[in-house]
C-alpha cells in the first residue's frame, strides 16, 4: 500500500473546477467567461488527484456490486442480477450525464493534452513522466469500459474542443486493445525519475515512476492474458518482455489507495452507506451475506481468510422437522438468488447463512486496483499453457500467488482491527470492551497462520489435468480479488468460466444466465443511433447482454456448478441449544 489519503478532497476539487479570480479588468473582451478555469491556471496535479479519487476511492465499491454476483463473490439481496440493465461505467468514463462526475477518460485526455501543450510551448520534456502516468491510467479506465460493453467510441472520443466529433464511431474491441498495448509501451518509455511528477497528489504511488512502470507492465499482463483465447499470439507477444523484475511482485508495489475519515464521503463505501442509514434514517446495520462460491473456496481448504471476511451464521441450531441432521450452520455461503420461488429463498433464509464480518464496514478501507497476487496467478496460467514460460513453472508462480494473497489478508486485518472499537461504538454501542476484543481475536489472521497454511495445505499444490489446474488457479484468483475487485472477478469468470457458481431458477429476463456484457445506455440510441446500430451489427444486431464480446472466446465457458440450490416448503425454524 503506497498512500493513505489525508486529503482535503473538497478543497482540491474546488481548485480544479470552480476557483478563478472574478476580476475582469485585465480581460481584453468583456464577454469572456470569467467563471471557468483556463488551461493557463489549471492545477494539473489536482486534476490527477480528482481522477484517482473519483475512479478508485469513490467508484471501486466495497464488495456489493451486481457484477460481483456473477463470479459468486457478492450476493443479490433485494436487487435482481438477471434483469436487463446497463452499467455506470459508461457515464463514469465519458462523463455523459449530470449525475456522473467521474469523466475519467475525458479528464485524463485533457490532462495529457494540456501537459503536452505546455512542453511544446516551452520546448522541453519536463512533463514527460506526468504524461506517461496519465496515459497509463487512461488505459486502465478505458479497459474497464470496453470490458463491460465491447465495442465503444474510443479513437474519436475525448478529443479537444476544436476537434470534437459529435457522433463518434464505435471502434472494435480488438483495435482498442491493440492501442492499449501501444499506449502502455509508449507511456513506460516516457517515465523518467528525473522529470516533474505529481508527488503527493498521486494518491496511489506518490509520483514514484518506478512503481508506475511496474503497474503499467502488470496492467499489460492482465490485458494480454485477457485476449489469450481469441489471439494467443498477441497474448504471447505482449508477455514476452515481462518478468518478475518489471512487474508488481510484492505488497510494497501494489496499486492500492486507502480510504480516509477526513470527510464521510472519503470513507469506506460500506461505512459511508451504513453511517448515512444510521444517522439520517435511524436504521440498524443490516450486514450483507457472503457469496457461496467464494466462501466455499475458503471453507473447503480451511483457509484462514474465511474468518476474516465472514461471520458464522447467526442461526446455529435448526429444529425444523426433517432437517435435524444439520445441527450447526457455521460458515455457510449464500447461493446466487434473484427472482426465484420463495421455496429456494427459504433454504438460505432465517439467518442460516454467513454475513459479512464487521471488518467490511471499516471507515479506512483498502481499494485495490492491481496487486502482486494477481500478477503471480497470471504468470501461473501463462506458464501452464505455454504462453510464457513452461508448464513446470506454473507451480512456483501459483505458490507465490497464494502466499501474496494470504499476506495481503494479514495486512488487511492489521489495517482494520484497530478500527473495531470505534466501529462497535457506532454500529453496536451496547457491546462491552471484552466482547469487542473477543470478536477481534476470533477474526484475526496472523503471519503464523499463513506460514502454517502455506506449508501444509493441499490446495498449495496444483494437481490434475491442465483444465483442473486452471480451475485451482482461478478459484484462488477470485478469492484474492475479494472484496473490492468484483468487476475483475466478473471479467475473469467470463474469460475462463471459473469459478463454478450455484445459481437459482431465476425467472427474470436472463433466466439465471449471467451476462457477458452490459447494454449500451439509452442515450446512445437517441444521440448516436447510426453508429450504435453499426456496433450492434457486430453482435447480431440486438443489444443483448448474453452476446460475447471479442476477447470472450473460450468455448468451454462457463462451467456449471454440480450442486443444487435446494427447495424447502417452509422456512427454517431455529432455536437455541
Closest among 31, 23, 62 to 273, alpha carbons compared = 62
Average pLDDT over the chain, rounded to an integer: 90
Q: Which residues is 310 bridged to in the sheet?
A: 356
The DSSP 8-state label assigned to residue 370 in this structure reads E
Q: What is the pTM of this model?
A: 0.92
pLDDT score at 276? 79
Instruction: Tell me the pLDDT band of 6, cut-offs 50, 70 and 90.
Output: very low
Which residues, other chains included, contact 481 with Cβ-Cβ below 8 Å and sequence gap of 6+?
Answer: 73, 374, 488, 489, 492
Instruction: Answer yes or no: is 196 within a domain.
Output: yes
Domain range spanning residue 32? Answer: 3-264
pLDDT digits over 371-387, tens only?
A: 999 999 999 999 999 99
Query: Residue 151: is its pLDDT beyond 80?
Result: yes
pLDDT digits over 330-369, tens only?
A: 999 999 999 999 999 999 998 999 999 999 999 999 999 9
Instruction: Answer yes or no: is 219 within a domain.
Output: yes
Closest among 512, 169, 542, 171 to 341, alpha carbons compared = 512
Answer left, alpha or beta for residue 537, where phi above 0 means left and psi between -120 and 50 means alpha.
Answer: alpha
Instruction: Answer yes or no: is 355 within a domain.
Output: no
Query: Residue 404: is its pLDDT beyond 70?
Result: yes
255: part of which helix (H) or strand (E)?
A: strand 255-258
Instruction: Tell me the pLDDT band of 325, cut-offs 50, 70 and 90.
Output: low
pLDDT digits over 480-493, tens only?
A: 999 999 999 999 99
pLDDT score at 382? 98
CATH of the domain at 148: 1.25.40.390
Instruction: Tell me the pLDDT band of 196, cut-offs 50, 70 and 90.
Output: very high
d(CA 25, CA 10): 29
- 163-167, 499-503, 572-576: lowest mean pLDDT where? 572-576
366: part of which helix (H) or strand (E)?
A: strand 366-370
Number of domains forming the structure of the chain:
1
pLDDT score at 320? 56
d(CA 253, CA 149): 30
Do residues 43 and 57 lie in contact, with contact meaning Cβ atoms separated by under 8 Å? Answer: no
Closest among 52, 64, 54 to 487, alpha carbons compared = 64
Q: Which residue has the cell 421455496?
A: 343
Query: Residue 314: is its pLDDT beyond 50?
Result: yes
pLDDT score at 477? 98
Query: Residue 98: is its pLDDT beyond 60?
Result: no
Instruction: Answer yes or no: is 256 within a domain.
Output: yes
pLDDT score at 45? 96
pLDDT score at 326? 54
Q: What is the 3-state secondary structure (H, E, C) of 383-435?
A: HHCCCCCCHHHHHHHHHHHHHHHHHHHHHHHHHHHHHHHHHHHHHCCCCCHHH
- DSSP per residue, 162-222: GG--SSPPPBPHHHHHHHHHHHHHHHHHH--TTS---GGG-TTTTT-HHHHHHHHHHHHHH
Do residues 183 and 174 lie in contact, with contact meaning Cβ atoms separated by under 8 Å? Answer: no
Beta strand pairing status for 3-4 and 255-258?
A: parallel
The pLDDT of 392-407, averaged and rounded, is 98
pLDDT score at 85? 85
Instruction: Answer yes or no: is 369 within a domain.
Output: no
Dihedral of alpha carbons 360, 364, 370, 375, sign: negative
Residue 289, φ and ψ in degrees, nearest 5: -80, 160
Query: Residue 389: is its pLDDT beyond 50?
Result: yes
pLDDT digits over 48-97, tens only?
A: 999 999 999 999 988 988 999 999 999 976 678 999 988 889 999 998 65
Instruction: Answer yes or no: is 160 within a domain.
Output: yes
pLDDT digits over 14-51, tens only?
A: 334 433 323 333 323 333 334 445 677 789 999 999 99
Which residues, other chains included, contact 368 with Cβ-Cβ below 8 Å and sequence gap of 6+?
Answer: 254, 255, 256, 484, 485
pLDDT score at 337? 94
Instruction: Answer yes or no: is 559 within a domain.
Output: no
Do residues 117 and 172 lie in contact, with contact meaning Cβ atoms separated by under 8 Å? Answer: no
Residue 139, helix vs strand vs coil: helix
Instruction: Answer yes or no: is 532 within a domain.
Output: no
The larger pLDDT score, comparing residue 571 to residue 404, is at: 404
Query: Residue 236: is its pLDDT beyond 80?
Result: yes
Amino acid at each position: 500500500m503506497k498512500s493513505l489519503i489525508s486529503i482535503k478532497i473538497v478543497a482540491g476539487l474546488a481548485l480544479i473546477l470552480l476557483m478563478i479570480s472574478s476580476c475582469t479588468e485585465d480581460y481584453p473582451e468583456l464577454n469572456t467567461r470569467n467563471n471557468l478555469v483556463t488551461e493557463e491556471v489549471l492545477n494539473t496535479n489536482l486534476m490527477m488527484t480528482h481522477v484517482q479519487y473519483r475512479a478508485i476511492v469513490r467508484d471501486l465499491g466495497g464488495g456489493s456490486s451486481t457484477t460481483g454476483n456473477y463470479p459468486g463473490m457478492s450476493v443479490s439481496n433485494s436487487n435482481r442480477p438477471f434483469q436487463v440493465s446497463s452499467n455506470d461505467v459508461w457515464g463514469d468514463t465519458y462523463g455523459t450525464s449530470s449525475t456522473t462526475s467521474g469523466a475519467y477518460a475525458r479528464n485524463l485526455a485533457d490532462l495529457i493534452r494540456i501537459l503536452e501543450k505546455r512542453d511544446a510551448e516551452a520546448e522541453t520534456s519536463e512533463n514527460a513522466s506526468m504524461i506517461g502516468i496519465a496515459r497509463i491510467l487512461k488505459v486502465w479506465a478505458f479497459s474497464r469500459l470496453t470490458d463491460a460493453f465491447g465495442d465503444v467510441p474510443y479513437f474519436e472520443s475525448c478529443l479537444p474542443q476544436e476537434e470534437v466529433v459529435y457522433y463518434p464511431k464505435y471502434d472494435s474491441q480488438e483495435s482498442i486493445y491493440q492501442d492499449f498495448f501501444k499506449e502502455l509501451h509508449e507511456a513506460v518509455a516516457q517515465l523518467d525519475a528525473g522529470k516533474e511528477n505529481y508527488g503527493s497528489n498521486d494518491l496511489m504511488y506518490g509520483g514514484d515512476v518506478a512503481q508506475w512502470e511496474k503497474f503499467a507492465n502488470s496492467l499489460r499482463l492482465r490485458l494480454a492474458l485477457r485476449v489469450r483465447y481469441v489471439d494467443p499470439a498477441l497474448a504471447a507477444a505482449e508477455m514476452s518482455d515481462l518478468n518478475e523484475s518489471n512487474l508488481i511482485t510484492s505488497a510494497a508495489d501494489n496499486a492500492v489507495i486507502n480510504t480516509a475519515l477526513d470527510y464521510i464521503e472519503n470513507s469506506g463505501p460500506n461505512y459511508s452507506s451504513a453511517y448515512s442509514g444510521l444517522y439520517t434514517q435511524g436504521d440498524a446495520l443490516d450486514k450483507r451475506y457472503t457469496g457461496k462460491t467464494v466462501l466455499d473456496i475458503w471453507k473447503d481448504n480451511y483457509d484462514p481468510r474465511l474468518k476474516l471476511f465472514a461471520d458464522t451464521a447467526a442461526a446455529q441450531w435448526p429444529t425444523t422437522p426433517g432437517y435435524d441432521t444439520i445441527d450447526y450452520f457455521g460458515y455457510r455461503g449464500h447461493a446466487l438468488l434473484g427472482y426465484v420461488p420463495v421455496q429456494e429463498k427459504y433454504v438460505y433464509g432465517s439467518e442460516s447463512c454467513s454475513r459479512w464480518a464487521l471488518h467490511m464496514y471499516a471507515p479506512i478501507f483498502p481499494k485495490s486496483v492491481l496487486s502482486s497476487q494477481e500478477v503471480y496467478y497470471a504468470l501461473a496460467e501463462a506458464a501452464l499453457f505455454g504462453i510464457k514460460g513452461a508448464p513446470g513453472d506454473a507451480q512456483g508462480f501459483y505458490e507465490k500467488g497464494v502466499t501474496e494473497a494470504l499476506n495481503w489478508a494479514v495486512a488487511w486485518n492489521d489495517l482494520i482491527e484497530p478500527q473495531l472499537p470505534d466501529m462497535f461504538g457506532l454500529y453496536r454501542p451496547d457491546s462491552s470492551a471484552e466482547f469487542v476484543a473477543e470478536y477481534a481475536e476470533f477474526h484475526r489472521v496472523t503471519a503464523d497462520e499463513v506460514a502454517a497454511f502455506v506449508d501444509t495445505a493441499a490446495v498449495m499444490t496444483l494437481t490434475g489435468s491442465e483444465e483442473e489446474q486452471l480451475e485451482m488457479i482461478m478459484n484462488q484468483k477470485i478469492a484474492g480479488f475479494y472484496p473490492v475487485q468484483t468487476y475483475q472477478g466478473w471479467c475473469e469468470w467470463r474469460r475462463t468460466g471459473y469459478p463454478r457458481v450455484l445459481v437459482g431458477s431465476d425467472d427474470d429476463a436472463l433466466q439465471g444466465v449471467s451476462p457477458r456484457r452490459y447494454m449500451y445506455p439509452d442515450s446512445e440510441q437517441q444521440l448516436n443511433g447510426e453508429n450504435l446500430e453499426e456496433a450492434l451489427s457486430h453482435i447480431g444486431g440486438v443489444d443483448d447482454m448474453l452476446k460475447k464480446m471479442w476477447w470472450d472466446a473460450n468455448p468451454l465457458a462457463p462451467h456449471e456448478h454440480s450442486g443444487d440450490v435446494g427447495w424447502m416448503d417452509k422456512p427454517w425454524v431455529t432455536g437455541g441449544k
